[in-house]
């Protein structure tokens, strides 16, 4: 199936800007362009309150931004995408507000530290510290709310790693993990990586660029960098996994879903036809984003309504 019309039009608009491919740009230039784009983005749904919390992490602190809807039924710990190099709370604001509104959940958006200034495993450690803080925060202030992990792209990697670590270390248990087109491996030779039809907003070359900024070659097989390489995947929370048809990360995301299911996990997984990497958070730009949110809302509601761990 070909890329859908809206995605094709968006790529055409980007091409007309004459911008160089991501992997040919400097990190600071890419970040500056993303920050400028935020100024032109819509604000998103209103929520009752937005609060920034300073959370202690090894070697410093990070900010977790809390979005409060009127009567939440869950608390979502959200890790943004951006290849562990890009992304910020402000860039994630529209999507975080949309999640709070559409899923009727408190959203705790995590501003983990970015590479190359903070290389692996800093982001994973920050993600874990934020999860521990969120668990304590929810128990202290919103004791009835189940905790949910949600990560997009590189944030999906972090969510998967946190879920694994919580099981391994007998830490807090999330009721669900939502992984949108996660990076679960560092293998650039999978079929979806080399398919010419998948070299779009995210390409094989740009993923190599991200990994080179993020982790040394000798670190990439570590399950904390490539969660698909963990020896065991039993006992993990129910997973809701979204992949995009035209995405270099498609195959590793789908393989991770298969491995979770083979380990006895509860998994709902869907490949979104005609979509490219990043589509789920392109609210108001790509119709596929609304479809993704409907899918997440449906399956998250099933998980939360069922006895813990039974359905996704």
Of 200, 211, 263, 276, the C-alpha closest to 237 is 263
| CB distance 53 to 63 below 8 Å | yes
Give the list of residues 6+ apart from residue 168 with CB closer than 8 angstroms, or none: none
Q: What would the DSSP string read from start to end of 165-234? A: HHHHTT----SEEEEES------TTSHHHH-GGG-SSS-HHHHHHHHHHH--GGGTTSTTTSGGG-S--T
| CB distance 110 to 132 below 8 Å | no
Query: Catalytic residue among 251, 277, 281, 299, which?
Result: 277
Query: Catalytic residue among 247, 251, 281, 299, which?
Result: 247
Of 176, 179, 180, the C-alpha closest to 305 is 176
Q: What would the DSSP string read from start to end of 123-163? A: HHHHHHHHHHHHHHHHHHH-TTPPEEEEEETHHHHHHHHHH
Query: Catalytic residue among 153, 186, 226, 281, which?
Result: 153
Is 137 marked active-site?
no
Is 277 marked active-site?
yes
Paired tokens of 59: 């070697």
| CB distance 120 to 112 below 8 Å | no
Of 154, 131, 164, the C-alpha closest to 211 is 154
**Helix 287-305 vs helix 5-16: angle between axes, to the nearest 10 degrees?**
130
**What is the number of other CB atoms lying within 10 angstroms of the CB of residue 43?**
8
Is 153 marked active-site?
yes
Of 3, 44, 1, the C-alpha closest to 201 is 3
> Any idea which residues carry the catalytic annotation?
153, 247, 277
């Amino acid at each position: 199936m070909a890329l859908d019309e809206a995605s094709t039009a968006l790529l055409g608009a980007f091409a007309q800007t004459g911008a160089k491919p991501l992997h040919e740009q400097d990190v600071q230039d890419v970040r500056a362009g993303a920050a400028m784009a935020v100024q032109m983005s819509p604000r998103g749904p209103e929520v009752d309150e937005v609060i920034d919390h300073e959370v202690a992490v090894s070697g410093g602190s990070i900010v977790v931004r809390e979005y409060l809807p009127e009567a939440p039924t869950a608390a979502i710990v959200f890790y943004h995408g951006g290849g562990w190099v890009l992304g910020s709370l402000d860039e994630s604001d529209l999507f975080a507000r949309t999640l709070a509104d559409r899923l009727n959940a408190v959203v705790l958006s995590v501003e983990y530290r970015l590479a190359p200034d903070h290389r692996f495993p800093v982001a994973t450690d920050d993600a874990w510290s934020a999860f521990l803080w969120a668990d304590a925060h929810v128990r202290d202030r919103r004791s009835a709310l189940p905790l949910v992990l949600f990560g997009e792209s590189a944030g999906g990697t972090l969510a998967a790693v946190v879920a694994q670590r919580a099981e391994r270390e007998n830490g807090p248990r999330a009721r669900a993990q939502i992984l949108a087109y996660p990076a679960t491996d560092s293998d650039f030779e999978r079929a979806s990586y080399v398919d010419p039809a998948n070299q779009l907003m995210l390409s094989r070359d740009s993923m190599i660029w991200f990994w080179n900024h993020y982790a040394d070659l000798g670190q990439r097989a570590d399950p904390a960098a490539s969660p698909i390489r963990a020896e065991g995947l039993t006992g993990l929370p129910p997973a809701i996994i979204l992949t995009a048809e035209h995405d270099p990360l498609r195959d590793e995301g789908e393989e991770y879903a298969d491995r979770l299911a083979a380990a006895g996990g509860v998994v709902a997984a869907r490949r979104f036809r005609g979509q490219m990497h990043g589509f789920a958070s392109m609210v108001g730009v790509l119709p596929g984003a609304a479809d993704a949110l409907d899918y997440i809302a449906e399956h998250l509601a099933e998980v939360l309504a069922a006895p813990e761990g039974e359905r996704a």
